[in-house]
Amino acid sequence: MSVDATQPYDVSNIFARILRGEIPCKKVYEDKHALAFHDINPQAPVHVLVIPKGAYVSMADFTALASSDEIAGFFLAVGKTAAQLQLVAPGYRILANSGFDSHQEVSHLHVHIFGGTALGPMLALAT
Ligand code: AMP
């Protein structure tokens, strides 16, 4: 079911549980502000998720409520993760779903990093 990005943060969401160490993840990168790990159902040869450590449902929530340090730290972590995955030279795509129309499934902000192949058109045709 898609996430309602206007709802309050749900502490039982799967990424909150990963952050608390209650369920495992295949970690790629971690720092004070962010955690990156492999997607459990990869949609490309490389498919990694980067999440902020703070409790934010969506990009709207994050940019409205997070500190400048958290916002800068999170986006730095996205760039560092892509570099660590050696995706800078071949190229990669980042994507963040937010709310119903995007079909966001997990109610903790996350950026997908896709790479490892030519990724094709940016979007399936939306009509
Ligand atoms: P989204 O549709 O943008 O909310 O994407 C959620 C992503 O989380 C999907 O690509 C799922 O495959 C991924 N996912 C769900 N549960 C886990 C998990 N336990 N570990 C890693 N990735 C997960």
Burial of 16 (0-12, 13-18, 19+ CB in 10 A): middle
Ligand 1 center–CA 72 separation, angstroms: 23
Over residues 72-97, the mean pLDDT reads 98
Task: Give the per-residue SS3 of 76-108.
Answer: HHHHHHHHHCCCCCCCEEEECCCCHHHCCCCCC
Ligand 1: does its nearest atom lie under 6 Å from the Cβ of 58? no
Backbone angles phi, psi at 61, to 5 degrees: -60, -45
Exactly one of 33, 108, 110, 112 is catalytic; name it: 110
Q: Kindly give the number of the ligand 1 atom that is closest to the alpha carbon of 110.
A: 3
Tens of pLDDT, residue by residue over 8-58, are: 999 999 999 999 999 999 999 999 999 999 999 999 999 999 999 999 999
pTM score, two decimals?
0.97
- CATH of span 14-115: 3.30.428.10
What is the average per-residue pLDDT within 71-94? 98
Residue 126: its pLDDT value, please? 73
- Ligand 1 atom closest to the CA of 103, numbered from 1: 2
108 is catalytic: no
pLDDT at 54: 98
Domain boundaries, the chain: 14-115
